[in-house]
Amino acid sequence: MLTVNKLIAQGRGLAPALLKRAASVSLDWDLRQKSRFEATDSQGRRLGVFLSRGTVVRGGDVLVAEDGSLVRVQAAPQPVLVVRHCTEHGAPSDLMRAAYHLGNRHVAVELKPDHLKLEPDHVLADLLRRMHLIVTEESAAFEPESGAYGEAGSGHAHGHAAHDHGHAHHAHGHAQPHGHDHDHDHDHDHGHDHGHDHGHGHDHDHDHDHDHDHDHVHVHGHHHGHRPDPGHDASGPGGHAHGPGGHDHRHKK
């Protein structure tokens, strides 16, 4: 028995002339969905296939034997149900509905633009016919969908660049009418009156612990009374309540 432990998906990278000279093996879906099986190739050699667990073999794949020889895989014809929409009583979208219901039942389905294929099942056949679909029994190669997560180790999973849909987190500063951002982190008792005349927005970042009992006035050339905004209540321990906007920012000490 010749051991096979490598698979080249769809023979990628191999010269056509090399593939043409290679032996072939015809396998139905029951065998191709297994990672360990035995088969006989077109040259009469007995093959012992040992692939990575979870590997699914597809028609067109190439097996590599331990002696370096190549074996082309052909999807063998097998009994299948072929499902088509009824042109007289239905619409092509009926196939989509059928695929949905079959998927809910975890049925292996091959999807084509104008038909579906599945393994014979008289219960499912009756269900599909009740949906006004045409179901026929045929012999054909069966290549069902591999699922959303691809096939482990087979090389059929499409190598899309990993998309990281990481949503950037934006700190949304809520603009206040007088252009100040207050970040208070202090414990003090003020008995003073600040009359700030500013022509520009700036940040006050207080981090101190003191007692004040004085009045002072800062003049920067522009008169801008630091009066409470109608929608801005800075009272309360470390909390700004913005009126109409309904925002409540609690600054931790």
Q: Give residue-wise pLDDT tens across range 26-77.
A: 999 999 999 999 999 999 999 999 999 999 999 999 999 999 999 999 999 9
Secondary structure class of 84 (helix, strand, coil): strand
224, 199 contact by CB (below 8 A): yes
| Cα–Cα distance, 91 to 111 (Å, whole number) | 16
CA distances from 153 to 18, 50, 54, 156, 221 (A): 24, 12, 7, 8, 73
CA 176, 211, 191 angle in degrees (round to 5)? 60
Whether the pLDDT of residue 104 is over 70: the answer is yes
Residue 17 has a pLDDT of: 95
Residue 165 has a pLDDT of: 47
Residue 173 has a pLDDT of: 45
pLDDT in tens, 211-249: 444 444 343 444 444 444 444 443 444 444 344 444 444
Residue 91 has a pLDDT of: 85
Residue 85 has a pLDDT of: 93
Among 4-18, 96-110, 142-156, 226-240, name the one with the lowest average pLDDT.
226-240
Whether the pLDDT of residue 207 is over 80: the answer is no
